[in-house]
Amino acid sequence: MMGSDFHATIKLITGEEIFALVSVDNTEEDPIIIMQSPVIMKVLSTGKGSMMKIRPWLEVPGDDIYIIKYDRILTMSEVKDKMIISMYTTYCDEGDFDFGEFINEEASNHEVTKKMGYISNVEDARKKLEDLFKDT
């Protein structure tokens, strides 16, 4: 039985974690998973919050449809998170980019304060250092 398409994260027996639009085909004796535009997603933490790095599963892809047999899959889970699906769809529509949207948008809306380590701008710091050097 051919299932409907859904977004899923798949962990292969090789350790790779893949995100793709998938369909399950049980019509054959040896069932398969059909993946469309598989990618690898990785969450990175930065000073501004968390970001998602998205890259193709295969560096030199020949096609955007791939077939994997069940015996190569360790686990598979449907993903319903609209933000993750939106980043994946944007990546597929617009092509390669290094970073997706902020996952934690609140972190990106904070202004820099002295408590965060900001002391002065470059010109003010240069003047203070020059004055300090002249005094010695």
Q: Which domains does the chain have, with CATH numbers?
A: 6-109 (2.30.30.100)
| Cα separations in angstroms, 114 against 34, 117, 118 | 53, 5, 5
Distance CA 136, CA 134 (A): 6
Tokens representing 86 are 């939106």
Tokens representing 106 are 């609140």
- Full-model pTM: 0.64
pLDDT averaged per 10 residues in sequence order, the chain, 136 residues = 79 93 83 90 79 84 84 92 88 64 49 60 84 77
pLDDT at 70: 87
The residue written with tokens 């010109």 in the block is 123
Tokens representing 41 are 């997603």
pLDDT at 3: 57
* 1 contact partners, CB below 8 Å, separation of at least 6: 26, 27
Q: In this structure, how many other beta carbons lie within 10 angstroms of the beta carbon of residue 83?
A: 13
pLDDT at 31: 82
Distance CA 60, CA 91 (A): 16
